[in-house]
Amino acid sequence: MVSNRKTRLENMQIALIAHDGKKAEMVAFLMENREALNGINLISTGTTGKFVEQAGLKVTRVLSGPMGGDAQIAAKIAEKEIEAVIFFRDPLNAHPHEPDVQMLMRICDVHNIPLATNPSCARLILKGLHSN
């Protein structure tokens, strides 16, 4: 049974996105939960992915959010390629690409994809992925 779970996790893809004011928090979360992420494929918007790579983690990068990365992630969700999204949003600052953010969140809801917008919820998603 453990080998089936490991195979399932190795085929799993989680999207990572963080607004500029939350990128350090994203990296800290990933480092604290590195073991739980072992074997899971990470995909990220461009700038967030750059921070993740600098922390020593392997990640597939798409465009930055404002340049279409949020839409690329949403398309992968619609194609059933992503099992969860960790999106550390900065609720205290305005973002010029807010319509893209809202679209991504809507796509998660439409396709029943878990969406964590803070570390506490992200930890719960990781626990849930490992308990199945």
Q: Which DSSP string do the residues of 1-21 spell out, in sequence order?
A: -HHHHHHHHHT-EEEEEE-GG
Q: Quick one: tokens of 101?
A: 């953010």
Extract the runs of DSSP E, i.e. beta strands, from the chain: 13-18, 41-44, 60-61, 84-88, 115-116
Give the whole-angstrom CA distance, residue 89 versus residue 39: 25
- 70 labelled catalytic: yes
Active-site choice (20, 70, 90, 109): 70
Q: Which residues are catalytic?
A: 70
